[in-house]
Amino acid sequence: MDDIYRDVIIDRYRNPQFQGKLDPNDYSYHDDNPVCGDHIRIDIRVDEKDVVTEALFTGEGCSISQASADLLVEKIIGMGLEDVRSLGKEDILELLGIELGPVRLKCALLSLKVLKGGVYGLDEIETLDELAAS
């Protein structure tokens, strides 16, 4: 069986590098996975060119959801918002470096959903089911 508990996941879960809140911020959004109660908040600051200068997350949940949030926040620092908007399921799986079944996939994608909610605004976010099927 593929080992989903790679060192990077356990490390990021136990010692997250990008945990915290930004106040003030340009974008802040939080959401939860109603199936398990995991929740994540992501705060972002951007410069005048809409490039992400700082980003942090807070949350509670399983190793997959929290490690993926930490890795995702790290990835978007320095990215333009347009590029952030185009991030998808494959980018998250690449960051984690693992294959996931349908249930744990939603754990992994919660941070992406939160990020999209923050940068798109409420109306356009996809549900976890839609993201998982994308």
Chain residues binding other proteins by CB under 8 A are 1, 4-5, 10, 14, 35-38, 60-64, 104, 107
Cβ 11 to other proteins, closest distance in Å?
11
Q: Is 24 left (phi over 0), alpha (psi -120 to 50) or beta?
A: beta
Whose Cβ is closer to other proteins: residue 14's or residue 21's? 14
Q: What are phi and psi of 80, to 5 degrees?
A: -75, 150
Nearer to other proteins, 38 or 81 (CB): 38
Nearest to other proteins of 30, 104 (CB atom)? 104
* Nearest distance in Å: CB 100, other proteins: 10
Nearer to other proteins, 41 or 119 (CB): 41
Please report how close the Cβ of residue 36 comes to other proteins at its closest, in angstroms.
6
Ramachandran angles phi, psi of 76, nearest 5°: -80, -15
